[in-house]
Structure 1
Amino acid sequence: MAKSKKQKRELEAARQAAQVHSAQLETCNDAYTSGAFSYLRFLVHLLAAAQFSWSIYYYLWKVHWPPGLHEEEELKTRWGGKFKYLTFLNVILQAIYHSVALLNDLFGHNGVTLASKSWLRQLRDYLFATLAFPIAHNVCISFWVIYLWDRELIFPAALDAIFPRQVWLNHVVHTNVALLAIMDLFTCFRQYPSRLAGITGNASFMLLYVIWVHIVKYFSGQWVYPLLEVLPLPLRYLMLSGMVALSLILYILGELINNIVWGPEFKLLKQKTIKQG
Protein backbone atom coordinates (compact mmCIF):
# COMPACT_ATOMS: atom_id res chain seq x y z
CA MET A 1 0.00 0.00 0.00
CA ALA A 2 2.91 2.33 0.84
CA LYS A 3 4.45 1.54 -2.51
CA SER A 4 1.25 2.41 -4.32
CA LYS A 5 1.10 5.79 -2.60
CA LYS A 6 4.71 6.47 -3.54
CA GLN A 7 3.98 5.69 -7.17
CA LYS A 8 0.99 8.01 -7.08
CA ARG A 9 3.12 10.81 -5.65
CA GLU A 10 5.74 10.26 -8.36
CA LEU A 11 3.08 10.29 -11.07
CA GLU A 12 1.54 13.44 -9.65
CA ALA A 13 4.94 15.12 -9.46
CA ALA A 14 5.66 14.15 -13.07
CA ARG A 15 2.27 15.46 -14.17
CA GLN A 16 2.83 18.77 -12.40
CA ALA A 17 6.31 19.09 -13.90
CA ALA A 18 4.87 18.45 -17.36
CA GLN A 19 2.24 21.13 -16.78
CA VAL A 20 4.94 23.59 -15.71
CA HIS A 21 7.02 22.88 -18.82
CA SER A 22 3.96 23.20 -21.06
CA ALA A 23 3.05 26.52 -19.43
CA GLN A 24 6.61 27.80 -19.86
CA LEU A 25 6.65 26.74 -23.49
CA GLU A 26 3.25 28.35 -24.11
CA THR A 27 4.47 31.59 -22.52
CA CYS A 28 7.60 31.45 -24.68
CA ASN A 29 5.53 30.92 -27.82
CA ASP A 30 3.18 33.77 -26.97
CA ALA A 31 6.12 36.15 -26.53
CA TYR A 32 7.82 34.90 -29.68
CA THR A 33 4.89 34.76 -32.10
CA SER A 34 3.10 37.97 -31.08
CA GLY A 35 3.87 41.48 -29.94
CA ALA A 36 7.08 43.45 -30.43
CA PHE A 37 9.27 40.42 -31.16
CA SER A 38 7.14 39.29 -34.10
CA TYR A 39 7.10 42.83 -35.51
CA LEU A 40 10.91 43.00 -35.26
CA ARG A 41 11.28 39.70 -37.09
CA PHE A 42 8.87 40.81 -39.80
CA LEU A 43 10.68 44.14 -40.18
CA VAL A 44 14.06 42.44 -40.55
CA HIS A 45 12.75 40.17 -43.31
CA LEU A 46 10.85 42.96 -45.06
CA LEU A 47 13.82 45.36 -45.11
CA ALA A 48 16.26 42.64 -46.13
CA ALA A 49 14.08 41.30 -48.95
CA ALA A 50 13.46 44.83 -50.27
CA GLN A 51 17.11 45.87 -49.91
CA PHE A 52 18.58 42.85 -51.68
CA SER A 53 15.93 42.83 -54.41
CA TRP A 54 16.59 46.51 -55.13
CA SER A 55 20.34 45.87 -55.12
CA ILE A 56 19.96 43.12 -57.73
CA TYR A 57 17.95 45.44 -59.94
CA TYR A 58 20.39 48.33 -59.43
CA TYR A 59 23.44 46.14 -60.02
CA LEU A 60 22.00 44.71 -63.24
CA TRP A 61 20.45 47.80 -64.80
CA LYS A 62 22.01 50.90 -63.22
CA VAL A 63 25.70 50.03 -62.93
CA HIS A 64 27.39 50.64 -66.29
CA TRP A 65 30.91 50.86 -67.58
CA PRO A 66 31.60 54.59 -68.06
CA PRO A 67 32.57 55.88 -71.53
CA GLY A 68 36.30 56.03 -72.12
CA LEU A 69 37.22 53.32 -69.65
CA HIS A 70 40.12 51.21 -70.95
CA GLU A 71 38.93 48.12 -72.84
CA GLU A 72 35.33 49.11 -72.23
CA GLU A 73 33.77 46.85 -74.82
CA GLU A 74 35.90 43.89 -73.82
CA LEU A 75 34.88 44.34 -70.17
CA LYS A 76 31.21 44.60 -71.12
CA THR A 77 31.17 41.37 -73.08
CA ARG A 78 33.39 39.28 -70.81
CA TRP A 79 31.85 35.81 -70.53
CA GLY A 80 29.60 35.15 -67.54
CA GLY A 81 28.71 38.77 -66.84
CA LYS A 82 27.89 39.69 -63.26
CA PHE A 83 26.67 36.17 -62.56
CA LYS A 84 30.24 34.89 -62.36
CA TYR A 85 30.82 36.61 -59.01
CA LEU A 86 29.99 34.80 -55.78
CA THR A 87 29.06 38.21 -54.36
CA PHE A 88 26.24 38.68 -56.87
CA LEU A 89 25.03 35.08 -56.60
CA ASN A 90 24.96 35.51 -52.83
CA VAL A 91 22.81 38.66 -53.07
CA ILE A 92 20.33 36.69 -55.19
CA LEU A 93 20.41 33.93 -52.59
CA GLN A 94 19.81 36.41 -49.76
CA ALA A 95 16.87 37.98 -51.62
CA ILE A 96 15.32 34.53 -52.10
CA TYR A 97 15.88 33.51 -48.48
CA HIS A 98 14.45 36.68 -46.92
CA SER A 99 11.48 36.57 -49.31
CA VAL A 100 10.73 33.00 -48.19
CA ALA A 101 11.14 34.08 -44.54
CA LEU A 102 8.77 37.00 -45.13
CA LEU A 103 6.17 34.70 -46.68
CA ASN A 104 6.53 32.39 -43.70
CA ASP A 105 5.92 35.34 -41.37
CA LEU A 106 2.70 36.05 -43.23
CA PHE A 107 1.38 32.58 -44.05
CA GLY A 108 3.55 30.01 -42.26
CA HIS A 109 4.48 29.16 -38.71
CA ASN A 110 7.03 30.73 -36.36
CA GLY A 111 6.30 28.83 -33.16
CA VAL A 112 8.94 27.19 -30.97
CA THR A 113 8.73 23.58 -32.12
CA LEU A 114 11.08 20.82 -33.21
CA ALA A 115 8.85 19.54 -36.00
CA SER A 116 7.08 22.22 -38.01
CA LYS A 117 4.39 21.10 -40.45
CA SER A 118 4.72 24.32 -42.46
CA TRP A 119 6.70 23.72 -45.66
CA LEU A 120 7.55 27.43 -45.76
CA ARG A 121 9.09 27.13 -42.30
CA GLN A 122 11.05 24.02 -43.30
CA LEU A 123 12.32 25.69 -46.48
CA ARG A 124 13.24 28.85 -44.54
CA ASP A 125 15.22 26.91 -41.96
CA TYR A 126 17.06 24.80 -44.53
CA LEU A 127 17.98 27.75 -46.75
CA PHE A 128 19.29 29.75 -43.81
CA ALA A 129 21.30 26.91 -42.30
CA THR A 130 22.93 25.54 -45.45
CA LEU A 131 23.27 28.64 -47.64
CA ALA A 132 22.13 32.06 -46.39
CA PHE A 133 24.21 32.24 -43.19
CA PRO A 134 27.47 30.50 -44.24
CA ILE A 135 27.66 31.93 -47.78
CA ALA A 136 26.93 35.49 -46.57
CA HIS A 137 29.76 35.32 -44.05
CA ASN A 138 32.05 33.59 -46.53
CA VAL A 139 31.59 36.48 -48.96
CA CYS A 140 31.95 39.13 -46.24
CA ILE A 141 35.08 37.66 -44.64
CA SER A 142 36.81 36.73 -47.91
CA PHE A 143 36.16 40.08 -49.56
CA TRP A 144 37.21 42.35 -46.72
CA VAL A 145 40.29 40.32 -45.76
CA ILE A 146 41.62 40.37 -49.33
CA TYR A 147 40.50 43.98 -49.84
CA LEU A 148 42.42 45.18 -46.77
CA TRP A 149 45.46 43.15 -47.79
CA ASP A 150 45.54 44.29 -51.44
CA ARG A 151 42.36 45.59 -53.01
CA GLU A 152 43.73 45.15 -56.54
CA LEU A 153 43.42 41.40 -56.08
CA ILE A 154 39.66 41.51 -55.43
CA PHE A 155 38.23 44.97 -56.22
CA PRO A 156 40.68 46.93 -58.44
CA ALA A 157 40.79 50.71 -58.14
CA ALA A 158 39.61 50.93 -61.77
CA LEU A 159 36.19 49.84 -60.52
CA ASP A 160 35.89 53.08 -58.55
CA ALA A 161 34.97 54.66 -61.88
CA ILE A 162 32.08 52.21 -62.13
CA PHE A 163 30.95 52.75 -58.54
CA PRO A 164 31.56 56.50 -58.23
CA ARG A 165 28.63 57.21 -55.91
CA GLN A 166 27.48 53.73 -55.09
CA VAL A 167 29.51 53.07 -51.95
CA TRP A 168 26.25 51.89 -50.35
CA LEU A 169 26.01 49.09 -52.94
CA ASN A 170 29.45 47.79 -52.02
CA HIS A 171 28.44 47.56 -48.37
CA VAL A 172 25.04 46.04 -49.14
CA VAL A 173 26.59 43.17 -51.11
CA HIS A 174 29.69 42.66 -48.94
CA THR A 175 28.71 43.77 -45.41
CA ASN A 176 24.94 43.91 -44.91
CA VAL A 177 24.55 40.32 -46.09
CA ALA A 178 26.39 39.12 -42.98
CA LEU A 179 24.86 41.64 -40.56
CA LEU A 180 21.29 40.80 -41.58
CA ALA A 181 22.03 37.07 -41.36
CA ILE A 182 23.12 37.60 -37.75
CA MET A 183 19.98 39.63 -36.99
CA ASP A 184 17.89 36.87 -38.52
CA LEU A 185 19.61 34.23 -36.39
CA PHE A 186 18.66 36.15 -33.22
CA THR A 187 15.03 36.72 -34.26
CA CYS A 188 14.08 33.35 -35.77
CA PHE A 189 13.87 30.13 -33.80
CA ARG A 190 14.89 27.28 -36.09
CA GLN A 191 15.74 23.63 -36.00
CA TYR A 192 18.88 22.97 -38.05
CA PRO A 193 18.73 20.03 -40.46
CA SER A 194 20.78 16.91 -39.81
CA ARG A 195 24.52 17.57 -40.02
CA LEU A 196 24.79 15.34 -43.12
CA ALA A 197 21.95 17.11 -44.96
CA GLY A 198 23.28 20.56 -44.05
CA ILE A 199 26.89 19.92 -45.00
CA THR A 200 25.83 18.17 -48.22
CA GLY A 201 23.76 21.19 -49.31
CA ASN A 202 26.47 23.67 -48.36
CA ALA A 203 29.35 21.75 -49.97
CA SER A 204 27.32 21.10 -53.14
CA PHE A 205 26.68 24.83 -53.63
CA MET A 206 30.33 25.76 -53.16
CA LEU A 207 31.64 22.94 -55.36
CA LEU A 208 29.21 23.95 -58.12
CA TYR A 209 30.54 27.51 -57.85
CA VAL A 210 34.14 26.27 -58.18
CA ILE A 211 33.10 24.38 -61.33
CA TRP A 212 31.36 27.54 -62.60
CA VAL A 213 34.58 29.54 -62.05
CA HIS A 214 36.43 27.07 -64.28
CA ILE A 215 33.72 27.22 -66.95
CA VAL A 216 34.04 31.02 -67.01
CA LYS A 217 37.83 30.68 -67.28
CA TYR A 218 37.51 28.21 -70.16
CA PHE A 219 35.20 30.41 -72.26
CA SER A 220 36.60 33.83 -71.38
CA GLY A 221 40.28 33.01 -70.98
CA GLN A 222 40.36 34.89 -67.67
CA TRP A 223 39.85 33.97 -64.05
CA VAL A 224 36.90 35.58 -62.25
CA TYR A 225 39.13 37.28 -59.66
CA PRO A 226 42.53 38.94 -60.28
CA LEU A 227 43.95 37.02 -57.31
CA LEU A 228 43.48 33.73 -59.18
CA GLU A 229 45.52 35.16 -62.08
CA VAL A 230 48.61 35.87 -59.97
CA LEU A 231 48.60 32.77 -57.78
CA PRO A 232 50.66 29.75 -58.90
CA LEU A 233 48.70 26.56 -59.58
CA PRO A 234 49.11 24.93 -56.12
CA LEU A 235 48.14 28.12 -54.24
CA ARG A 236 45.24 28.75 -56.62
CA TYR A 237 43.63 25.44 -55.76
CA LEU A 238 44.54 25.85 -52.12
CA MET A 239 42.55 29.10 -52.18
CA LEU A 240 39.55 27.48 -53.88
CA SER A 241 39.66 24.58 -51.42
CA GLY A 242 39.90 27.13 -48.61
CA MET A 243 36.70 28.82 -49.84
CA VAL A 244 34.84 25.51 -49.64
CA ALA A 245 36.36 24.67 -46.24
CA LEU A 246 35.52 28.13 -44.85
CA SER A 247 31.91 27.72 -45.91
CA LEU A 248 31.68 24.37 -44.09
CA ILE A 249 33.27 25.85 -40.96
CA LEU A 250 30.77 28.72 -41.07
CA TYR A 251 27.92 26.23 -41.38
CA ILE A 252 29.03 24.47 -38.19
CA LEU A 253 29.62 27.83 -36.48
CA GLY A 254 26.10 28.95 -37.41
CA GLU A 255 24.63 25.75 -35.97
CA LEU A 256 26.64 26.20 -32.77
CA ILE A 257 25.56 29.83 -32.32
CA ASN A 258 21.93 28.90 -33.05
CA ASN A 259 22.04 26.21 -30.34
CA ILE A 260 23.52 28.68 -27.84
CA VAL A 261 21.11 31.53 -28.63
CA TRP A 262 18.04 29.29 -28.51
CA GLY A 263 19.36 26.92 -25.85
CA PRO A 264 16.59 27.63 -23.27
CA GLU A 265 13.88 26.97 -25.87
CA PHE A 266 15.52 23.72 -26.98
CA LYS A 267 15.77 22.66 -23.33
CA LEU A 268 12.05 23.27 -22.77
CA LEU A 269 11.15 21.30 -25.89
CA LYS A 270 13.34 18.36 -24.88
CA GLN A 271 11.91 18.34 -21.36
CA LYS A 272 8.39 18.33 -22.76
CA THR A 273 9.27 15.45 -25.09
CA ILE A 274 10.75 13.45 -22.20
CA LYS A 275 7.72 14.04 -20.00
CA GLN A 276 5.35 13.02 -22.80
CA GLY A 277 7.42 9.95 -23.47
Structure 2
Amino acid sequence: MAKSKKQVREFQAAKEAAEATVARLVTCNDAYTSGAFKYLRFLLHLLAAAQFSYGIYYHYFRVHWPKDLVEEDEVAELKARWGGKFKYLTFLDVILQAIYHTLALLNDLFGDNTVTAEPKSKLRSLRDYIFAAFAFPVAHNVCLSFWVVYMWDRELIFPSALDAIFPSWLNHVVHTNVALMAIMDLFTCFRRYPSRLAGLAGNFSFILLYIIWLHIVRYFSGEWVYPILEVLPLPLRYLFLALLVGFNLACYLLGEYANTVIWGPEFKLLKQQKSKQG
Protein backbone atom coordinates (compact mmCIF):
# COMPACT_ATOMS: atom_id res chain seq x y z
CA MET A 1 0.00 0.00 0.00
CA ALA A 2 1.41 3.36 -1.02
CA LYS A 3 2.11 5.83 1.74
CA SER A 4 -0.07 8.91 1.95
CA LYS A 5 1.42 12.36 1.49
CA LYS A 6 0.93 12.99 5.21
CA GLN A 7 2.90 9.86 6.14
CA VAL A 8 5.66 10.81 3.74
CA ARG A 9 5.87 14.30 5.24
CA GLU A 10 5.95 12.88 8.79
CA PHE A 11 8.66 10.39 7.82
CA GLN A 12 10.72 13.11 6.18
CA ALA A 13 10.31 15.42 9.19
CA ALA A 14 11.39 12.65 11.56
CA LYS A 15 14.39 11.87 9.37
CA GLU A 16 15.44 15.53 9.26
CA ALA A 17 15.03 15.86 13.04
CA ALA A 18 17.19 12.77 13.57
CA GLU A 19 19.86 14.12 11.23
CA ALA A 20 19.76 17.49 13.01
CA THR A 21 20.24 15.75 16.38
CA VAL A 22 23.20 13.77 15.04
CA ALA A 23 24.68 16.97 13.59
CA ARG A 24 24.37 18.75 16.94
CA LEU A 25 26.06 15.83 18.69
CA VAL A 26 28.88 15.86 16.14
CA THR A 27 29.33 19.61 16.63
CA CYS A 28 29.25 19.14 20.39
CA ASN A 29 31.88 16.39 20.29
CA ASP A 30 34.10 18.38 17.93
CA ALA A 31 34.14 21.20 20.46
CA TYR A 32 34.49 18.89 23.45
CA THR A 33 37.17 16.49 22.21
CA SER A 34 39.41 18.90 20.30
CA GLY A 35 40.73 22.42 20.50
CA ALA A 36 40.93 24.54 23.66
CA PHE A 37 38.48 22.43 25.67
CA LYS A 38 40.56 19.30 25.12
CA TYR A 39 43.76 21.00 26.28
CA LEU A 40 42.02 22.61 29.26
CA ARG A 41 40.83 19.19 30.46
CA PHE A 42 44.26 17.65 29.93
CA LEU A 43 45.99 20.51 31.76
CA LEU A 44 43.56 20.25 34.68
CA HIS A 45 44.22 16.54 35.13
CA LEU A 46 47.98 16.96 34.68
CA LEU A 47 48.23 19.76 37.27
CA ALA A 48 45.90 18.01 39.70
CA ALA A 49 47.74 14.68 39.47
CA ALA A 50 51.10 16.42 39.94
CA GLN A 51 49.85 18.62 42.78
CA PHE A 52 48.28 15.82 44.79
CA SER A 53 51.18 13.43 44.16
CA TYR A 54 53.64 16.03 45.45
CA GLY A 55 51.31 16.76 48.36
CA ILE A 56 51.38 13.06 49.33
CA TYR A 57 55.18 13.00 49.11
CA TYR A 58 55.62 16.18 51.17
CA HIS A 59 53.00 15.19 53.74
CA TYR A 60 54.44 11.72 54.25
CA PHE A 61 58.19 12.38 54.09
CA ARG A 62 58.65 16.04 55.03
CA VAL A 63 56.07 16.72 57.72
CA HIS A 64 57.32 15.44 61.11
CA TRP A 65 56.20 16.36 64.60
CA PRO A 66 58.85 18.07 66.76
CA LYS A 67 60.41 15.61 69.20
CA ASP A 68 60.98 18.28 71.83
CA LEU A 69 57.26 18.86 72.44
CA VAL A 70 56.21 17.46 75.79
CA GLU A 71 52.76 18.85 76.53
CA GLU A 72 50.27 16.07 75.95
CA ASP A 73 47.43 18.35 74.81
CA GLU A 74 49.66 19.72 72.03
CA VAL A 75 51.38 16.47 71.18
CA ALA A 76 48.24 14.32 70.89
CA GLU A 77 47.65 15.30 67.27
CA LEU A 78 51.35 15.34 66.40
CA LYS A 79 52.54 11.94 67.58
CA ALA A 80 53.01 9.28 64.96
CA ARG A 81 50.80 6.70 66.66
CA TRP A 82 49.43 3.41 65.43
CA GLY A 83 48.26 3.69 61.82
CA GLY A 84 50.60 6.54 60.94
CA LYS A 85 49.25 9.15 58.56
CA PHE A 86 46.97 6.59 56.93
CA LYS A 87 44.57 7.03 59.87
CA TYR A 88 43.57 10.50 58.64
CA LEU A 89 40.73 10.82 56.15
CA THR A 90 42.50 13.88 54.77
CA PHE A 91 45.59 11.84 53.84
CA LEU A 92 43.52 8.99 52.40
CA ASP A 93 41.51 11.51 50.39
CA VAL A 94 44.56 13.15 48.81
CA ILE A 95 45.74 9.67 47.78
CA LEU A 96 42.29 9.06 46.30
CA GLN A 97 42.42 12.37 44.39
CA ALA A 98 45.88 11.58 43.01
CA ILE A 99 44.66 8.18 41.82
CA TYR A 100 41.53 9.66 40.24
CA HIS A 101 43.27 12.48 38.36
CA THR A 102 46.04 10.16 37.19
CA LEU A 103 43.38 7.80 35.85
CA ALA A 104 41.57 10.72 34.20
CA LEU A 105 44.87 11.84 32.65
CA LEU A 106 45.43 8.34 31.24
CA ASN A 107 41.92 8.40 29.83
CA ASP A 108 42.68 11.74 28.15
CA LEU A 109 45.72 10.15 26.51
CA PHE A 110 44.51 6.65 25.72
CA GLY A 111 40.77 6.51 26.38
CA ASP A 112 37.67 8.28 25.20
CA ASN A 113 35.95 11.56 26.13
CA THR A 114 33.13 11.76 23.60
CA VAL A 115 29.56 12.63 24.54
CA THR A 116 27.95 9.24 24.12
CA ALA A 117 25.18 7.18 25.68
CA GLU A 118 27.61 4.50 26.90
CA PRO A 119 31.36 4.78 27.69
CA LYS A 120 33.48 3.34 24.88
CA SER A 121 36.30 2.15 27.13
CA LYS A 122 36.69 0.42 30.49
CA LEU A 123 39.18 3.11 31.47
CA ARG A 124 36.52 5.78 31.14
CA SER A 125 33.93 3.67 32.97
CA LEU A 126 36.37 3.23 35.86
CA ARG A 127 37.18 6.94 35.85
CA ASP A 128 33.52 7.87 36.01
CA TYR A 129 32.71 5.46 38.84
CA ILE A 130 35.67 6.50 41.01
CA PHE A 131 34.74 10.15 40.57
CA ALA A 132 31.06 9.62 41.33
CA ALA A 133 31.32 7.22 44.28
CA PHE A 134 34.57 8.37 45.90
CA ALA A 135 36.52 11.35 44.56
CA PHE A 136 33.78 14.00 44.47
CA PRO A 137 31.89 13.15 47.70
CA VAL A 138 34.95 12.43 49.86
CA ALA A 139 36.69 15.62 48.67
CA HIS A 140 33.68 17.74 49.63
CA ASN A 141 33.19 15.88 52.89
CA VAL A 142 36.82 16.53 53.86
CA CYS A 143 36.79 20.16 52.72
CA LEU A 144 33.50 21.25 54.27
CA SER A 145 33.73 19.29 57.53
CA PHE A 146 37.34 20.42 58.10
CA TRP A 147 36.70 24.12 57.59
CA VAL A 148 33.45 24.12 59.59
CA VAL A 149 35.13 22.51 62.62
CA TYR A 150 38.24 24.66 62.07
CA MET A 151 36.20 27.87 62.26
CA TRP A 152 34.32 26.60 65.31
CA ASP A 153 37.40 25.49 67.28
CA ARG A 154 40.53 24.68 65.32
CA GLU A 155 42.13 22.89 68.30
CA LEU A 156 39.61 20.10 67.83
CA ILE A 157 40.82 19.25 64.33
CA PHE A 158 44.01 21.17 63.46
CA PRO A 159 45.82 22.35 66.63
CA SER A 160 47.80 25.58 66.36
CA ALA A 161 50.95 23.61 67.21
CA LEU A 162 50.78 22.19 63.68
CA ASP A 163 51.32 25.61 62.10
CA ALA A 164 55.07 25.35 62.67
CA ILE A 165 55.41 22.08 60.77
CA PHE A 166 52.46 21.95 58.38
CA PRO A 167 52.81 24.64 55.68
CA SER A 168 49.78 26.70 54.72
CA TRP A 169 50.02 25.70 51.04
CA LEU A 170 49.86 22.00 51.99
CA ASN A 171 46.88 22.66 54.22
CA HIS A 172 45.02 24.11 51.23
CA VAL A 173 46.15 21.32 48.90
CA VAL A 174 44.68 18.62 51.16
CA HIS A 175 41.68 20.50 52.57
CA THR A 176 40.64 23.02 49.89
CA ASN A 177 42.01 22.14 46.47
CA VAL A 178 40.62 18.61 46.62
CA ALA A 179 37.10 20.07 46.36
CA LEU A 180 38.00 22.85 43.91
CA MET A 181 39.64 20.41 41.49
CA ALA A 182 36.64 18.08 41.73
CA ILE A 183 34.31 20.95 40.82
CA MET A 184 36.50 21.94 37.87
CA ASP A 185 36.57 18.33 36.74
CA LEU A 186 32.77 18.22 36.90
CA PHE A 187 32.64 21.05 34.35
CA THR A 188 35.25 19.61 31.98
CA CYS A 189 34.43 15.88 31.88
CA PHE A 190 31.20 14.55 30.46
CA ARG A 191 30.15 11.46 32.41
CA ARG A 192 27.17 9.29 33.12
CA TYR A 193 26.79 8.55 36.80
CA PRO A 194 26.38 4.88 37.73
CA SER A 195 23.02 3.65 38.94
CA ARG A 196 22.18 5.30 42.24
CA LEU A 197 22.29 1.96 44.05
CA ALA A 198 25.77 1.12 42.72
CA GLY A 199 27.10 4.62 43.42
CA LEU A 200 25.70 4.93 46.95
CA ALA A 201 26.81 1.37 47.79
CA GLY A 202 30.41 2.20 46.93
CA ASN A 203 30.23 5.53 48.73
CA PHE A 204 28.69 4.01 51.88
CA SER A 205 31.18 1.14 51.92
CA PHE A 206 34.14 3.54 51.77
CA ILE A 207 33.03 5.74 54.66
CA LEU A 208 31.89 2.75 56.76
CA LEU A 209 35.28 1.07 56.34
CA TYR A 210 36.94 4.31 57.40
CA ILE A 211 34.86 4.48 60.59
CA ILE A 212 35.80 0.87 61.37
CA TRP A 213 39.43 1.88 60.76
CA LEU A 214 39.03 4.75 63.24
CA HIS A 215 37.94 2.28 65.92
CA ILE A 216 40.85 -0.06 65.13
CA VAL A 217 43.28 2.83 65.55
CA ARG A 218 41.52 3.82 68.80
CA TYR A 219 41.83 0.29 70.14
CA PHE A 220 45.56 -0.06 69.43
CA SER A 221 46.70 3.51 70.11
CA GLY A 222 44.44 4.37 73.02
CA GLU A 223 43.41 7.64 71.40
CA TRP A 224 40.90 8.80 68.85
CA VAL A 225 42.38 10.10 65.61
CA TYR A 226 40.58 13.44 65.95
CA PRO A 227 40.50 15.38 69.26
CA ILE A 228 36.82 16.22 68.72
CA LEU A 229 35.98 12.52 69.25
CA GLU A 230 37.78 12.66 72.61
CA VAL A 231 35.74 15.54 73.99
CA LEU A 232 32.31 14.44 72.74
CA PRO A 233 30.26 12.22 75.09
CA LEU A 234 29.40 8.76 73.77
CA PRO A 235 25.94 9.57 72.30
CA LEU A 236 27.21 12.72 70.56
CA ARG A 237 30.30 10.90 69.33
CA TYR A 238 28.24 8.37 67.41
CA LEU A 239 25.81 11.02 66.30
CA PHE A 240 28.84 12.83 64.86
CA LEU A 241 29.97 9.67 63.04
CA ALA A 242 26.44 9.05 61.75
CA LEU A 243 26.36 12.60 60.44
CA LEU A 244 29.72 11.95 58.76
CA VAL A 245 28.17 9.00 56.90
CA GLY A 246 25.02 10.96 56.05
CA PHE A 247 26.99 13.96 54.85
CA ASN A 248 29.15 11.78 52.62
CA LEU A 249 26.03 10.27 51.02
CA ALA A 250 24.58 13.78 50.61
CA CYS A 251 27.77 14.86 48.82
CA TYR A 252 27.28 11.96 46.42
CA LEU A 253 23.73 13.12 45.62
CA LEU A 254 25.01 16.68 45.23
CA GLY A 255 27.54 15.53 42.64
CA GLU A 256 24.94 13.49 40.79
CA TYR A 257 22.54 16.45 40.67
CA ALA A 258 25.24 18.91 39.62
CA ASN A 259 26.36 16.58 36.83
CA THR A 260 22.79 16.33 35.54
CA VAL A 261 22.38 20.12 35.54
CA ILE A 262 25.76 20.96 34.01
CA TRP A 263 25.47 18.40 31.21
CA GLY A 264 21.72 18.71 30.79
CA PRO A 265 21.80 19.82 27.11
CA GLU A 266 24.06 16.90 26.18
CA PHE A 267 21.85 14.40 28.02
CA LYS A 268 18.85 15.87 26.20
CA LEU A 269 20.54 15.38 22.81
CA LEU A 270 21.41 11.78 23.63
CA LYS A 271 17.84 11.13 24.79
CA GLN A 272 16.49 12.60 21.54
CA GLN A 273 18.90 10.49 19.51
CA LYS A 274 17.85 7.34 21.34
CA SER A 275 14.14 8.05 20.93
CA LYS A 276 14.53 8.69 17.19
CA GLN A 277 16.60 5.54 16.73
CA GLY A 278 13.97 3.57 18.61
TM range, normalised to the smaller chain? over 0.9
Matches of 1:209 and 1:73, distance apart in 2: 20
Within 5 A, what are the aligned runs for 1:47-62? 47-62=47-62
Matches of 1:175 and 1:13, distance apart in 2: 51
Where does residue 266 of structure 1 map in the other structure? Answer: 267
Corresponding position: 1:6 with 2:6:
yes
Matches of 2:224 and 2:173, distance apart in 1: 24
User: Quick one: percent identity of the two aligned structures?
Assistant: 73
Within 5 A, what are the aligned runs for 1:41-52? 41-52=41-52
- Paired residues in the alignment total 275
Distance 1:248 1:35, change over 3 A: same
**1:6 deviation in Å?**
1.3
Where does residue 139 of structure 1 map in the other structure? Answer: 142
Distance 1:47 1:248, change over 3 A: same
1:151 alignment partner, SS class? helix
Amino acid across the alignment from 1:186 = F
RMSD in angstroms over aligned alpha carbons? 1.5
Matches of 1:112 and 1:139, distance apart in 2: 30
**1:121 deviation in Å?**
0.5
**1:161 deviation in Å?**
2.6
1:140 alignment partner, SS class? helix
Amino acid across the alignment from 2:86 = F
Q: Deviations for 1:139-186, whole angstroms, at most 9, x for unmatched residues?
A: 0000000000000110111212322xx110000000000000000000
Where does residue 33 of structure 2 map in the other structure? Answer: 33
Matches of 1:76 and 1:149, distance apart in 2: 23
Gaps of 5+ in 2: none
Contact 1:66 1:161 in 2 (8 A): no
Matches of 1:256 and 1:48, distance apart in 2: 23
Q: Deviations for 1:213-260, whole angstroms, at most 9, x for unmatched residues?
A: 000000001001000000000000000010110010110111101000
Q: Select 1:150's aligned residue among 145, 153, 174.
A: 153
Within 5 A, what are the aligned runs for 1:45-84? 45-70=45-70, 76-84=79-87
Where does residue 99 of structure 1 map in the other structure? Answer: 102
Contact 2:77 2:226 in 1 (8 A): no
Contact 2:136 2:255 in 1 (8 A): yes
